[in-house]
Amino acid sequence: MSEDVEDRGPGSGPLRLLEGVRVVSLEAYIAAPYCTNLLADAGAEVIKVERPGTGDPRRAYEPKLRDGDGELSSGFASYNRGKKSVELDLARPADREVFDGLLAGADVLVSNLRPGSLERMGLGRDIVSERYPRLVVCEISGFGQSGPYAHWPAFDSVIQAMSGLSSLLGPSPEEPPELAPMGTMDLLGGVYSVIGILMALVARQRSGRGTHVDASMLDIAAAFLERPLTLHEFTGSVPLRGADRFSPVGSFRAGDGGWISIVIPTDEMWSRCCAAIGRPELRDDPRLDSILKRAEAMRELIIPALEEWAAPLDRHEAARRLREHGQPAGVVQTIDEVRANEHLAARGLFAELDDPRAVHADGSRMRLPRLPLLFDGRGAQPGPVPQLGQDNEEFGVSASASS
């Protein structure tokens, strides 16, 4: 991608929306680190508490960049930009004293330790309310702090399966259920946790007291599937893998072999679609005269008609012609195409990582997705990725703690 495309985005720089908010986080892997990464992008001071010597397990994830400035893990850089790192062994009295001091000056404690861990550390709800009355505590876990599954171990794939999401992913009910990629439910758990934290901080402005936020990934994932759950409640049906039987939606091939995604959720859009592809007779076909009928017939009748029309066109031209008729359509982009997308470049989604290690072999700076919001037309500038324990001295951690 040329530099002139890269530079068309809106202005970016450190955001100060949450300036003055201190977040202490007992975190590892994805859900909690992504939550605090978003808070850090918005200007909060995030202090990541890590295990001495090894730190967050994602620090070891490949691929890595290795140079004179140390090594940088792609898996760690994704969710830990702009934070501070301290190494603390909380079973060690001196380190626990440092940690308690951090909490005394903190606004938020985030944890994705197993349920019951804070209580065993003497940080149960009642004690926190008495000792740190203004502290907002957000605990993120697979199944929440209560309920019969509370102590079950969980990773993203387990939550996808148990929430019902996997039952909907795949070509047909006869094929094995599939998984959404890239820690989808971990990331969603992080986003909802940010919402809960901000709600609690707003409430604290009125009451002067912190709130305990219990973020269950299974709760969040199930609530995220509100549409199939609502349809089941209304109709008694059980949506399964394959065609969406409640809305005409699908993908079809254009003449260049590329894919186009289309959804036709109303009678008006169906009329537009028929006009766009030059098949007005389909609009009044009795097999296609309702939304539910069109959903059932999407693969057998509508997709073949779309592919016949698109055979002489490439995917971009076919999608453009549909959009010209007011019919939503978009090409299916690969990851490299997303990275080079002109619209995302114009909005500045990919921002330079402010870290001396984040350099490609050709000397160009790495760009990663920033906080995907603009504030007064400005985007966040991702901060540097902390070295393990780089801020020990600032917070009074003794050298022996990290050895």
Indicate which residues carry an active-site annotation. Answer: 186
Extract long-range pairs of 276-282: CB within 8 Å, 24+ residues apart: 276/321, 276/322, 276/324, 276/325, 276/327, 277/305, 277/306, 277/309, 277/322, 278/309, 279/305, 279/309
Omega before residue 10 within 30° of 0, cis:
no
As to burial, measured by CB atoms within 10 angstroms (0-12 exposed, 13-18 middle, 19+ buried), residue 344 is middle
Rounded Cα distance, 92 and 283, in Å? 73
Half-sphere exposure of 121 (CA within 13 A, CB side): 21
- Give the phi and the psi of residue 369 in degrees, each rounded to 5: -60, 130
Provide the β-strand partners of residue 329. 262
Instruction: Residue 84: count other Cβ atoms within 10 Å of its Cβ.
Output: 21
Rounded Cα distance, 224 and 241, in Å? 17
Provide the β-strand partners of residue 109. 24, 137
Helix (H, G, I), strand (E, B), or coil: what is residue 196? helix
Rounded Cα distance, 251 and 1, in Å? 28
